[in-house]
Structures are given as C-alpha cells and as structure tokens.
Structure 1
C-alpha cells in the first residue's frame, strides 16, 4: 500500500493546531499530536523537523487558511468594515488561530519569528491590496496600509483573544459585537 504523504501531513497539521492552541508551543507534546493524528511520531520529524519547526508550519498553514477564507483583495480591500466582519466570523469558527498567535507572543517574545518570510508574504499581499484601494480613493489615506491592517486585525481578533473581557463589557450577544466591530471600522475609514 502506498503512503499518502499529503494526507499524513494534513492529519499532523490538524492535530498540531489543536495541541498548540490548547497547550502552547512549550507544553505541546509531539506524542499527543502523533496519537491524535493516528500517525507514527517519527513522521513529524520527517515532514516538519522539530517541534519549533512544526509550530512555524502550523502558524503558516493557519494564516494561509484565513487568507483563503477571507482574502483581502479587490472589492473587499475597498470595504474594510466588511473585511473586519468576515475576519470576526472566521475567528468565531476557528478560535485556534488567535490562541496560536497569543501563545507565540507569550513564549517567543523577542525571539526570531517562526516561518517569518512565509507569513510576512501573506501580510505583504494584504498591504499591497490596501495600498491599491487607497490609490483608487476607495480607502482613505490618513493611515498607512500597515496601520489600517493592524488595527482591523486587532479589533477583529481581540473579541476572541479575551472572551471574558468582551462578555463583561459587551454582554453575550456575539452578533451585536460583530455589528459594533463593523461600525467601528467604518468610522475608522470614513
């Protein structure tokens, strides 16, 4: 029987996302990832290298999933409130990504960024789309594309980064939170 490398890699990535989101890069266990994936632990080393490299691959793959699900290009680059709402929706369905970013910040601090070049490319594409929208006059130029993108990402993700705080301040109505986010971003770019 032939080994399905792509399927095995995907099983490991899926298991690693949940493991790293739950325990962080320091406490995550490769044996749990392998067991959850139903794959021999040695495949992790074969496909990804060490735990740090696997964490970088998880971050890159998670960012790629978000970029595919909510692309910031063309008409959506000109409609940042709608983009923010869609990012909010994505985080509601996939809360692991925000957790992964927070674990990275907590445990890596000033250390080199995992898979920096790969991940930076995704953001560079978004920045280029925002710059093009600004050039066309669809998005105000008061803020640089990086300032706008960072603000929108922070606003959309913070709801899921600190759920207790969001509930205490905004209540339990997630739909109201989404509408508020869209209104805030609309005001930011008006």
Structure 2
C-alpha cells in the first residue's frame, strides 16, 4: 500500500491510502480495452485516462509513455497466457515419446489447440490487439522491450518430430509455430464474419466444435499423412 496524491480524470485531487498494484491493474484494463478497440496508433492516453478514472499524469508516472503502457498490456496478457497454457504445454513437452509416438504427438496437438482456443476466446481484447498489429505490419510490437517467446519450444519440437518422421517431410519446421498460431487466431477472428453459418459462438457446443475442427485442420496439415 502507498500513500499519495490521486488525481482523477476530472482533475480532483485527494490525499489517501491507495493500492498501487490495484491502480495499475485498473489502468491496464482500460488500456487493453482502448488498444483493442482502436489499435496502438489511434489510442490516446487521455482517452485511456478517462476510461480508467485516473489522470494521465499518473499513467505517465507508472508507465513512462504510451509505448511503455502498451508494453505492459502485452506483457500482462502474455503472462496470463503463460500461466494458463504455458505450464500445461511445458508438462506435455516432457513426454519422452512425444516425438517418436504419432498418437502422443496427435494428443499433444489436440490438447495445445484446446488451451489456445479457450484462452483466446476468454481474452478477446488480446486477439484484437494481435490483429491490429498484423494490420500495421507488427511495427509497434517490434518496438516493445518485452519479447514474448511463444515459438522456440514448438520449433524445437517440430525439428525433432520431422527427424523421426512424424512431421510431414514437406513442411518447414520453422513455420510450424507460425502456422498453428495463425490457423487458430484467424479462425477465431473470422467467426463473426461467418456467424450466419454457425451456431452461437459462445455456446459450449460451438466451442467444442471449433476446438475439434481447428485441431483436425492442424493435425492433418502438419503430421505425416500415412500416420493418420
């Protein structure tokens, strides 16, 4: 807990005890929403300040500038994803038979896809931020100091799986994590575009259908066909 001057977005000053971590969390929640709605370039600190209920001077005090705030939004989302999916995937990667047993490799792809889909469906703002970045050629993403490492383990896995004959021989292992991520994110991002062809997207049945179909597409796209 800290004692300090809180300046609201309306400019009212009050000296009181406040929880810095909670305050930062509220600001990050507001920033994530605004960055998701407008993208980095169009988002403004004063708009984020108003949405959070705090003065922009406090945002600068905590995060330095807009890029620093954006970096913390990305970092927090990545860390949440790591908490939810990272430890789970790391545990699966410990399976010694993963790159020699086609059934184990297939089960891994199914489980990983499930965790990725559920995480992104539960955190739609992060999905929108990713697509804003893609639309702007990842120029802001490549400027931030925090660098999510979301592909190294999968790349190493793909190299080993190709050597053992599980990964299809005409697939470049370097593209393995990119293909999986893009099949997953693009499918989820496109649901609203084709909602007239689908059931309610947030229903349990539709979630399971999505997970199953994305998994099958990935499995049949990356595994050696003769093993399926």
Q: Same fold (TM over 0.5)?
A: yes
Aligned residues: 187
Consecutive unaligned residues in structure 1, runs of 5 or more: none
Q: CA deviation at 1:87?
A: 0.6
Aligned mate of 2:157, from 130, 134, 144: 130
Matches of 1:30 and 1:112, distance apart in 2? 18
**SS of match in other structure, 1:39:** coil
Q: CA deviation at 1:166?
A: 4.3
- Contact (CA 8 Å) 2:159, 2:173: kept in 1 or not? no
1:178 maps to what in 2?
A: 211
Matches of 1:41 and 1:23, distance apart in 2? 18
Matches of 1:166 and 1:81, distance apart in 2? 24
Within 5 A, what are the aligned runs for 1:23-102? 23-71=38-86, 72-75=89-92, 78=98, 79-102=108-131
Consecutive unaligned residues in structure 2, runs of 5 or more: 4-16, 99-107, 200-205, 224-228
Q: TM-score, normalised to structure 2's length?
A: 0.68
Aligned mate of 2:189, from 151, 161, 183: 161
Aligned mate of 1:103, from 132, 138, 150: 132
2:105 maps to what in 1?
A: none
Matches of 1:90 and 1:150, distance apart in 2? 17
Q: TM-score, normalised to structure 1's length?
A: 0.80
Structure 1 range deviating more: 143-152 or 80-89: 143-152
Q: CA deviation at 1:49?
A: 1.7
Within 5 A, what are the aligned runs for 1:115-154? 115=144, 118-120=146-148, 122-127=149-154, 130=157, 134=161, 140=167, 142=169, 143=171, 145-154=173-182
**Which of the two has greater strand per residue?**
2
Structure with larger RCO (C-alpha < 8 A, sep 6+): 1
* 2:47 is aligned with 1:19: no
